[in-house]
Amino acid sequence: MLISSSEQLAEIQSKFPDRPVRITQFIEGPMLTSNNIVCADKILVGNISYQITGTPPFTDNPFTTIGNDWALPHILLNENLKAQYNMIATDIGNKLRESRWKGLFGIDVILDTAENKLYLIEINARQPASTTYESILQEKNTTFDAHLAALTNSPTTVELTPITSGAQIIVRNGELMRDKNQDAIIQNLHELNLDLNIIPYTNTNPVSDWIRTQTKESLFTAHNVFNNLGEKIKSALV
């Protein structure tokens, strides 16, 4: 829950007067993520992507992840911040190796724009969902190739292919989409006459995937600021 007023806090306290909670200061800034690999002989830090989070009307939950943009981190991060990020991912990978972990793991990091500092938010010891499209964008020397090599203890002979563009954004089930027609939205997306890969889902649970749109271009010019392509995709949801 994102508490933004004393009235909101009082309402929650009245409903749950005896419930233990964990609180933390809210850090304002963009979320970043990467798919990294614990290999037999090194830690490979994957391409950093901007983690699109809580953007309406794609979702009505401010904490829900709804996609990735692999171009925006090249604007958001200077060389010092990229080095900080690589150090965080590498240190975590080495710690995982001590526990005999092999293969993919993801990290979520937030950029505190006030302090210009990175904070680790989450470690996902599994194959992250964005691995698939990242590997498609890479075409060769992919993140998934390295994952398979790590699982079979094969030596790492090549580095991951860097990518500087590409994005995917997901419409999730929720109140904002409750009265929307999936077929009509998909038709709107096709009528944009853009090079988009559109994947519909039959999910009905809250915050589950409903429509996924993939592109080889970027969707953002800055944190929470769509570019022209992003605005066109957003407009298709009406």
> Domains plus CATH for the chain?
26-235 (3.30.470.20)
> Are the beta carbons of 118 and 110 closer than 8 angstroms?
yes
> What pLDDT does residue 4 have?
85
Please tell me whether residue 75 adopts helix, strand or coil conformation.
Answer: helix
Q: Where are the beta strands (DSSP E) in the chain?
A: 31-38, 43-44, 48-53, 65-69, 103-112, 117-124, 167-172, 197-200, 209-215, 220-222, 225-226
Residue 226, beta-bridge partner list: 220
Euclidean distance between CA atoms 109 and 133, whole angstroms: 20
Q: To the nearest whole percent, how much of the chain has pLDDT over 90?
A: 86
Q: Where are the beta strands (DSSP E) in 125-208?
A: 167-172, 197-200
**What pTM was estimated for this model as a whole?**
0.91
Note the pLDDT tens digit of each residue in 48-86: 999 999 999 999 998 899 999 999 999 999 999 999 999
| Mean pLDDT rounded to a whole number for the chain | 94
pLDDT at 21 over 90: no
> Are the beta carbons of 92 and 124 closer than 8 angstroms?
no
> What pLDDT does residue 27 have?
87
**Residue 124 to residues 35, 42, 107, 145, 161: CA-CA distances in angstroms?**
9, 19, 6, 19, 22
pLDDT at 144 over 90: yes
> What pLDDT does residue 108 have?
97
pLDDT band at 23 (very low <50, low <70, confident <90, very high): confident
pLDDT at 130 over 90: yes
- Length of the chain in terms of residues written: 238
Note the pLDDT tens digit of each residue in 156-169: 878 999 999 999 99
> What pLDDT does residue 36 have?
98
> What average pLDDT score do residues 188-212 get?
95
> What average pLDDT score do residues 156-183 get?
93
